[in-house]
């Protein structure tokens, strides 16, 4: 592959020193003269109607400035466009910043602004709420039972995007025996090939039920926001994943034009899918600030973050899988129930089917699903939405089959691995043809991983015990969406010769906000110290950019920056041709000069070219813009016009297939069968993510994503009291994200670094795939150590292991969620 100077090289991101010295400003670090603080009044009930609010006593308190209720909000906007793989489901009533019909305990009902937080909190306590309790459900199966409660007055599920009430029959439930998931009416389904024929060819058929828990995203920075108004424009200091893509949402939530929003988010303390488009609640400080005429800071507490901070949709699944003697999967029939929270349906359950069809390339497959509303916090995509659940459901089955068929765990995955332009997902209704990926090198990844992990050597530990300590090894193949297309790149070669790249990517910790701009520098052969990246503030004139989510950024924005760089290069060549004669093609660029091919010393410096571009005007300095770029980019480019040679273009590059990345993970675990204590001895991953842009951040993304999955496997909980519909695990201490000591001690990583053929530079995204890989590598290793069927749900905590080994059953019945 091409020899790069910047791409694939480690470097220090320009924002790192600010971070490590504490100078970096996150939303809660901004201050403004006369800043007020607001606090939220959260619903104490899982579902209720507000009869009356008496805030007189609160408003009479010294220092209390204003209260904001749902009635003062603009009408609820439609939910934001979800990332690829997430079918957009829109239906009223949509979530809004505040509500008069809370549909989960902890939903904000009103907000109070006061001179300080203590006063605001005291004021909240003085408010008298009159609530009418309404029926509620916190467990999907409860809601599906005959006469079961509905989470919403309008119904409990979506059928053709309509909110409807769906109940299963007693028979549906009684048919399901020994802990198997009942399978009643499922409104959603897709099929690939002839299922029956598939199962006919099978030598072994497994029928397993598995529960994956919902989990709060809990980024370390809560969704705090500070708002102030200056000459009619809202200046919002917030915590969001996507700088540019958040503007439109904020405008809708606050009820103003996007042009009137200045969004500042230079640093974001993580998101994992919970802050893709910002948060409805950002409207609260914005509107309170408008109402009081003073800046308003809304500091969101950790407990509030549990409520309004989004969560992954738990999926209960039952899968029948047919295997041939050689391990080839002939058929998959999977049934999924998704806990969707109280608002829109998530795509997770559907992704379970789609990703299974890719990871295991079944000859035939059927996916069925029902998404059930519950009175629990709203769901949102969380790293690998549905992909992670898929791995948890299927990898243990595949490993179990391997044991039954006497095949090696890695081998059975190699046999079924997607390769090249592997097909997957539901066939197109019109053509009947399935989609396919741009490229997949899973076998190569498995081979490299097996070698890195020392699989052959470790096989001797498989299922072995020494004293009370059982060892097991496991492996997982995890695919997920890894890129979109069609966004804009924008850069300026300044008269001082510097390259200024405008990045609309959010700075949420993936480093992609900077990493993707290195492509522009690379293509223009600019030394990195001559480059400057503008980001994190829409008043800096940023281009139309993808949401920083769904692993889209690396793919989408390397393409966009590549396009902008190519546009700049073309303009450099044209300017050179204009001034020095000849045709543009006769010129080349390098070493910050545009020169006649063959004589690098000739031509113009970039600085000179930039000055010429300003003189020439028109397309060269941004006074004339391409027609196909987004209006947002047009606004930004227009504002920057005349400051230098402008490279601006939309990514129109073709790509044949869907862009997905694959990560394979290997794990070795040690379980003390007397105590259920678990230790992850070793963990190794190999990433098939195309060209490596930035090794440090790639390895970090893969391991961090893996840990998110590992947390789901061993510790992260979602607990509800069913009597009152109240969450019990609201804070870190109770919901238990893994600590540094729960992480594997010995970690290995490698990337295939095989360029994706369908995109310039060949880089794909990576954020999602590692999650399912980490999750299932641990689960398969646990099953290898303890035996199959020891657990049918996650997290696999000591109580689950002990109850299963010593009492012959789990701590909780097989189907109850939220325990």
Partner 1 sequence: MSDKDMADANMMPERGVSRRAFIKGVIAAGAAVSSTAYLFRAPIFGQPGAPGAVERLITLNVNGQMRRVDVMKQETLAMTLRYKLGLTGTKLGCDRSECGACTVLIDDVPHYSCSILTHSVRGRKVVTIEGLAGADGTLHPVQQGVVEEQGFQCAFCMPGFVMAAVGFLKVNPNPTRAELAHGVSGNLCRCQDYDKILTAFMRGAEILRRA
Partner 2 sequence: MAVIHDMMPAFELFQPTSIADTLTLLGRYRGDAWVMAGGLDSFDWLKDRIKRPRYVVDIGGVAELKGIRASGAGLEIGAGTTLTEVVRHPVVKEKFGILLEAAEAAASPQIRNQGTIGGNVSQDTRCWYYRAGWSCYRAGGNICYADTPTAINREHAIFDADRCVAVSPSDTAPALIALDAKMVIRNLEGERVVDAENYFIGPGIDITRMNILQPGDLLTAIRIPDTWAGAQFYFEKIADRKVWDFPLVNVASAMVANQSAIQRIRLALNGVAAHPKRLVEVEAAVTGKPRNEQTAEMAGRLAIAGAQPLQHNGYKLPLVKNLVKRAIRGVEGSWTS
Partner 3 sequence: MDFLTWGRSPWGEWILTHVSWDLLWASIFAGVVFLVAHASYMVLSAHRKREAHEADALERSLPGLPERIPKHSLAARLFHWIMAVAMFVLLLTAFLPIVGIRFPWVQWHWMAGLLLTASILFHIVHATFWLDFWSIWVGPKDIPEFKAEVLREFGHDVPGPKPGKYPLGNRLYHTVIVVAGLLVVATGLVMMKRVHTPFFTRNPYLFGDATWGVTYVLHGTAGVALVGLVIAHVYFAVRPEKWWITKGMIVGWITRRQYLEHHEPSRWAIARSSASPNRPGPAV
Task: List, in order, residues 6 or more apart from 354 with CB less than 8 Å away.
Answer: 85, 367, 386, 424, 425, 426
169 DSSP assignment: -
Judged by beta carbon, residue 531 or residue 564, the one nearer partner 1 is 531
510 binds, among partner 2, partner 3, partner 1, none (CB under 5 to 8 A by kind): partner 1
CA-CA distance, 645 to 804, in Å (whole number)?
68
41 lines the binding site for partner 2 (CB under 8 A): yes
Tally the residues of the chain.
Answer: 819
Q: How far is the CB of 612 from partner 1 (least distance, A)?
A: 38
On whether the CB atoms of residues 637 and 648 are closer than 8 A, the answer is yes
Binding test (CB under 8 A) with partner 1, winner from 2, 5, 10, 615: 10
56 lines the binding site for partner 1 (CB under 8 A): no
| Piece in contact with partner 2 (CB under 8 A), picked from 60-68, 155-163, 238-246, 732-740 | 732-740
CA-CA distance, 257 to 577, in Å (whole number)?
43
708 lines the binding site for partner 1 (CB under 8 A): yes
CA-CA distance, 145 to 757, in Å (whole number)?
50
Binding test (CB under 8 A) with partner 1, winner from 3, 21, 232, 466: 21
Question: How many residues sit in the footprint of partner 2 (CB under 8 A)?
Answer: 63
Name residue 131's beta-bridge partners: 50
DSSP three-state, residue 685: strand
Positions in 387-446 near partner 1 (CB under 8 A): none
Positions in 301-320 near partner 1 (CB under 8 A): 301-302
On whether the CB atoms of residues 797 and 789 are closer than 8 A, the answer is no
53 lines the binding site for partner 3 (CB under 8 A): no
Q: How far is the CB of 142 from partner 3 (least distance, A)?
A: 15
Name residue 230's beta-bridge partners: 233
Binding test (CB under 8 A) with partner 3, winner from 721, 789, 799, 806: 721
729 binds, among partner 2, partner 1, partner 3, none (CB under 5 to 8 A by kind): partner 2
CA distances to 211, 340, 517, 770, 786 from 353, in Å: 15, 17, 35, 18, 28
| Cα 104–chain centre separation | 23
Binding test (CB under 8 A) with partner 2, winner from 103, 124, 284, 352: 124
| Piece in contact with partner 2 (CB under 8 A), picked from 33-41, 145-153, 316-324, 493-501 | 33-41
Task: List, in order, residues 6 or more apart from 724 with CB less than 8 Å away.
Answer: 46, 105
| Cα 318–chain centre separation | 25
Positions in 228-257 near partner 1 (CB under 8 A): none
Judged by beta carbon, residue 63 or residue 626, the one nearer partner 1 is 63
Nearest C-alpha neighbor of 679 from the set 643, 625, 715: 715
Name residue 548's beta-bridge partners: none
Q: How far is the CB of 408 from partner 2 (least distance, A)?
A: 21
221 lines the binding site for partner 1 (CB under 8 A): yes
Q: How far is the CB of 356 from partner 1 (least distance, A)?
A: 26
203 lines the binding site for partner 2 (CB under 8 A): no
> Two tokens at 541?
């004139």
Site string for partner 1, 253-292 (x = CB under 8 A): --------------xxxx-x--------------------
- Note the helical H segments in 617-682: 631-640
Positions in 469-498 near partner 2 (CB under 8 A): 469, 471
612, burial (CB in 10 Å: exposed 0-12, middle 13-18, buried 19+): buried
> Two tokens at 797?
């905590």
Give the chain's radius of gyration (CA, Å).
27
Judged by beta carbon, residue 47 or residue 320, the one nearer partner 3 is 47
Nearest C-alpha neighbor of 67 from the set 40, 102, 99: 40
76 lines the binding site for partner 3 (CB under 8 A): no
Binding test (CB under 8 A) with partner 1, winner from 59, 81, 89, 115: 115
Q: How far is the CB of 214 from partner 2 (least distance, A)?
A: 15
On whether the CB atoms of residues 808 and 801 are closer than 8 A, the answer is no
45 binds, among partner 2, partner 1, partner 3, none (CB under 5 to 8 A by kind): partner 3
Location of structure tokens 């966004």: 487
Judged by beta carbon, residue 112 or residue 352, the one nearer partner 3 is 112
Binding test (CB under 8 A) with partner 2, winner from 74, 753, 798, 814: 798
29 lines the binding site for partner 1 (CB under 8 A): yes
Q: How far is the CB of 672 from partner 2 (least distance, A)?
A: 8
Q: Is the sign of the CA dihedral 22, 23, 25, 31 positive or negative? A: positive
- Dump strand ranges (E) for 555-697: 587-590, 593-596, 604-605, 645-650, 660-672, 678-688
Q: How far is the CB of 729 from partner 3 (least distance, A)?
A: 15
How many CB atoms are closer than 10 A to CB 30? Answer: 19
Q: How far is the CB of 739 from partner 2 (least distance, A)?
A: 4
726 lines the binding site for partner 3 (CB under 8 A): yes
| Piece in contact with partner 3 (CB under 8 A), picked from 80-88, 573-581, 697-705, 722-730 | 722-730
CA-CA distance, 785 to 456, in Å (whole number)?
16
Binding test (CB under 8 A) with partner 2, winner from 159, 619, 681, 747: 681
Backbone angles phi, psi at 228, to 5 degrees: -150, 150
60 lines the binding site for partner 1 (CB under 8 A): no
711 lines the binding site for partner 1 (CB under 8 A): yes
How many CB atoms are closer than 10 A to CB 167? Answer: 16
What letters, b where the CB count within 10 A reaches 16 and e where it falls short, cover 128-156?
Answer: ebebeebebbbbbbbbbbeebbbbbeebb
Q: Is the sign of the CA dihedral 750, 699, 394, 480 positive or negative? A: negative
Binding test (CB under 8 A) with partner 1, winner from 6, 8, 28, 335: 28
Judged by beta carbon, residue 311 or residue 708, the one nearer partner 1 is 708
Positions in 715-744 near partner 1 (CB under 8 A): 731-733, 737-741, 743
CA-CA distance, 340 to 563, in Å (whole number)?
39
Judged by beta carbon, residue 120 or residue 317, the one nearer partner 1 is 120
| Cα 245–chain centre separation | 15
On whether the CB atoms of residues 730 and 306 are closer than 8 A, the answer is yes
28 binds, among partner 3, partner 1, partner 2, none (CB under 5 to 8 A by kind): partner 1
Site string for partner 3, 133-152 (x = CB under 8 A): x-------------------
577, burial (CB in 10 Å: exposed 0-12, middle 13-18, buried 19+): middle
CA distances to 98, 108, 441 from 69, in Å: 7, 9, 54
Binding test (CB under 8 A) with partner 3, winner from 12, 57, 259, 724: 724
419 DSSP assignment: B
Location of structure tokens 């694939």: 8
Site string for partner 3, 77-116 (x = CB under 8 A): ----------------------------------------
Q: How far is the CB of 136 from partner 3 (least distance, A)?
A: 11
Question: In the complex, which residues of this chain contact partner 2 (CB under 8 A)?
Answer: 39-42, 44, 117-118, 120-122, 124-129, 301, 303-304, 461, 465-469, 471, 670, 674-677, 681, 715, 719-723, 726, 728-730, 732-734, 736, 738-742, 797-800, 802-803, 805-807, 811-812, 819
Binding site for partner 1 (CB under 8 A): 10-13, 16-17, 19-26, 28-29, 31-33, 35, 37, 62-63, 114-116, 118-119, 218-221, 267-270, 272, 297, 299, 301-302, 508-511, 696-697, 699-701, 703-704, 707-708, 711, 731-733, 737-741, 743, 745, 747
Contact set with partner 3 (CB under 8 A)? 44-45, 129, 131, 133, 721, 723-724, 726
């Amino acid at each position: 592959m091409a020899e790069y100077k910047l791409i694939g090289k480690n470097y220090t991101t320009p924002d790192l020193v600010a971070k490590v010295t504490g100078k970096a400003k996150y939303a809660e670090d901004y201050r403004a003269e006369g800043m007020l603080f607001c606090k939220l009044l959260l619903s104490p009930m899982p579902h209720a109607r507000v009869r009356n609010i008496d805030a007189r006593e609160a408003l009479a308190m010294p220092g209390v400035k204003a209260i904001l209720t749902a009635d003062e909000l603009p009408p609820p906007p439609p939910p934001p466009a979800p990332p690829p793989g997430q079918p957009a489901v829109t239906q009223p009533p949509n979530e809004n910043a505040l509500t008069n019909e809370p549909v989960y305990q902890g939903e904000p009902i009103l907000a109070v602004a006061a001179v300080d937080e203590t006063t605001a909190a005291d004021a909240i306590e003085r408010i008298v709420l009159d609530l009418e309790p309404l029926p509620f459900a916190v467990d999907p199966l409860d809601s599906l039972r005959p006469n079961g409660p509905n989470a919403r007055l309008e119904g409990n599920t979506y059928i053709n995007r309509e909110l409807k009430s769906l109940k299963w029959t007693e028979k549906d439930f009684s048919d399901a025996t020994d802990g198997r998931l009942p399978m009643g009416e499922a409104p959603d389904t897709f099929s690939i090939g002839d299922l029956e024929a598939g199962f006919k060819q099978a030598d072994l058929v497994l029928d397993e039920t598995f529960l994956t828990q919902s989990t709060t995203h809990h980024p370390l920075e809560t969704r705090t926001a500070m708002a102030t108004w200056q000459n009619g424009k809202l200046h919002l200091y917030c915590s969001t994943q996507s700088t540019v893509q958040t503007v439109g949402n904020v405008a809708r939530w606050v009820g103003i034009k996007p042009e009137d929003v200045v969004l500042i988010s230079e640093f974001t303390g993580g998101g994992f899918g919970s802050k893709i488009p910002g948060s409805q609640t950002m409207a609260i400080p914005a509107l309170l600030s408008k109402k009081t005429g003073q800046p308003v800071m809304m500091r969101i507490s950790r407990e509030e973050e549990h409520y309004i901070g989004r969560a992954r949709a738990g999926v209960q699944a039952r899968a029948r899988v047919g295997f041939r003697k050689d391990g080839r999967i002939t058929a998959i029939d999977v049934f999924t129930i998704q806990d969707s929270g109280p608002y829109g349906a998530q795509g997770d359950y559907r992704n379970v089917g789609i990703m299974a069809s890719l990871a295991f390339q079944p000859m035939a497959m059927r996916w069925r699903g029902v998404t059930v509303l519950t009175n629990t916090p709203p769901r949102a995509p969380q790293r690998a939405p549905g992909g992670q659940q898929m791995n948890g459901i299927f990898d243990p089955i595949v490993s179990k089959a391997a044991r039954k068929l006497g095949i090696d765990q890695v081998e059975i995955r190699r046999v079924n691995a997607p390769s090249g332009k592997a097909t997957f997902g539901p066939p197109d209704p019109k053509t009947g043809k399935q989609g396919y990926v741009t490229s997949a090198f899973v076998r190569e990844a498995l081979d490299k991983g097996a070698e890195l992990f020392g699989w052959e050597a470790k096989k001797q530990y498989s299922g072995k015990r020494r004293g009370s300590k059982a060892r097991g090894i496991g492996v997982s193949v995890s695919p997920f969406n890894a890129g979109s297309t069609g966004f804009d790149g924008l850069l300026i070669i300044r008269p001082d010769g510097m390259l200024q790249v405008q990045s609309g990517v959010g700075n949420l910790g993936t480093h992609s906000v900077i990493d993707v701009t290195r492509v522009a520098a690379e293509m223009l052969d600019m030394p990195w110290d001559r480059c400057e990246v503008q980001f994190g503030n829409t008043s800096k004139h940023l281009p139309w950019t993808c949401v920083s989510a769904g692993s889209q950024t690396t793919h989408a924005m390397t393409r966009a920056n590549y396009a902008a760089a190519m546009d700049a290069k073309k303009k450099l060549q044209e300017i050179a041709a204009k001034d020095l004669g000849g045709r543009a093609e006769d010129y080349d660029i390098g070493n910050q000069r545009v020169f006649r091919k063959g004589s690098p010393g000739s031509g113009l410096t970039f600085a000179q070219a930039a000055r010429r571009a300003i003189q020439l005007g028109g397309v060269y300095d941004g006074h004339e813009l391409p027609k196909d770029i987004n209006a947002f980019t047009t606004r930004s480019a227009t504002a920057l016009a005349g400051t230098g040679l402008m490279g601006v273009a939309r990514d129109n590059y073709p790509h044949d297939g869907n862009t997905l990345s694959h990560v394979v993970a290997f794990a070795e675990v040690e379980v003390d069968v007397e105590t259920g204590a678990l230790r992850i001895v070793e963990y190794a991953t190999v990433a098939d993510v195309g060209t490596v842009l930035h090794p440090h951040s790639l390895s970090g993304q893969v391991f961090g994503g893996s840990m998110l999955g590992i947390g789901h496997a061993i510790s992260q909980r979602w607990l509800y009291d069913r009597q009152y519909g109240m969450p019990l695990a609201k804070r870190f201490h109770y919901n238990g994200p893994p600590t540094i000591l729960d992480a594997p001690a010995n970690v290995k990583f490698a990337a295939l670094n095989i360029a994706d053929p369908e995109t310039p530079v060949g880089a794909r995204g990576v954020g999602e795939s590692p999650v399912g890989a980490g999750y299932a590598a641990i689960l398969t290793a646990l099953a290898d150590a303890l035996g199959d069927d020891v657990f049918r749900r996650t997290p696999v905590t000591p109580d689950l292991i002990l109850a299963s080994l010593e009492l012959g059953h789990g701590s909780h019945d097989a189907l109850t969620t939220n325990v």
